[in-house]
Structure 1
């Protein structure tokens, strides 16, 4: 994982040293996230992302784009809880609500004048983690940050389209590479982030 971090730093240093043009911007959009691995009946959770970026143009076709994003992620899963009033087990929903500060570094290649394909690594820093149980006429939310690692690593794949010189839109998939669970010794449970996002950006 240290190699990924060092690679990100090296790409940024190379990009700024060889930039023909640098544009800064802001972006925001919708996340559709889930958790893969040892999680039964997991379904997608809707969240959002917002932040800023710098597009470092190295040539007419190729750019490097580092970003700093606040991203809400997680998943939903079905569970059973005991309803004291009905004296029976009832179906309930458990929602894992994760929030990260993500730092992706995307390599963008313009296959056409306004259309680009992109890929690159991402490091994420966990800001908060909460678990919400809803069912049986009750709803409870707890802090579960101690059960998750503070750093996540992944890789992104996506595409973008520039409507104008300033306004753009993008679609991206983040594939989590690392186990985000803070397991105790002998515990082999694994969860990885999986996030599909749609965003709109504005370059200044």
Structure 2
């Protein structure tokens, strides 16, 4: 009985100590998107923006889990045939998403420099593909990786790469037992931005 009581007491102390170390702070983030779509002819990057909010759950000075909700303007720039003729016209493909993600951030030496990685569920809010005769599906699933640096005041500078994993038309790359992965159209995003985490006492 004494051993059980001692174990329960030590467990209680450990949980209390862990809770004392964990901090939960809200924040905002935003910046530049450089976006493209794979396997589209005459495709080039489109410059746009992203903006959103976050909650930084800091377990210790080395590890932070950061759930995020972000409005992300994506797509690409390219060339399309004009009215069925052989003439080309400039095209700007717009794919806009609300993204629900969570990144794990690992701070080197407990200092400001960190690497991050995590998944993202992207829900399409709008697109302009109808004018080109196409209809993208409503969701994407992405993987995010990046680096950053956080100042003591909560201001963070980050660079991220976001790779979509689902074809924007739902194509699975398989056609009559042959694989056509070089035809799959995926979202790719470079993000350069800042975030600010508010200190909650």
Q: Which residue of 1 aligns with 2:12?
A: none
Give the 5 Å matches for 1:30-109: 30-36=32-38, 38-81=39-82, 89-109=86-106
Give the TM-score, by structure 2 length. 0.77
**Alpha-carbon shift at residue 173 of structure 1 (Å):** 0.3
2:182 equivalent to 1:193: no
**Hey, which of these two has a bigger chunk of helix by percent?**
2
Q: Which residue of 2 aligns with 1:119?
A: 117
Root mean square deviation, CA, Å: 2.7
Match of 2:145 among 157, 177, 191: 157
Q: Residue 143 and residue 40 in structure 1: after superposition, are their counterparts in 2 closer, same or farther (change >3 A)?
A: closer
Q: Residue 92 and residue 53 in structure 1: after superposition, are their counterparts in 2 closer, same or farther (change >3 A)?
A: same
1:147–1:182 CA contact under 8 A, matched in 2: no
1:129–1:143 CA contact under 8 A, matched in 2: no
Matched position secondary structure for 1:142: helix
Cα distance in 1 for residues equivalent to 2:169 and 2:81 = 22
2:127 equivalent to 1:129: yes
- Name which one, 1 or 2, has greater alpha-carbon Rg: 2
**Alpha-carbon shift at residue 104 of structure 1 (Å):** 1.7
Count of paired positions: 173
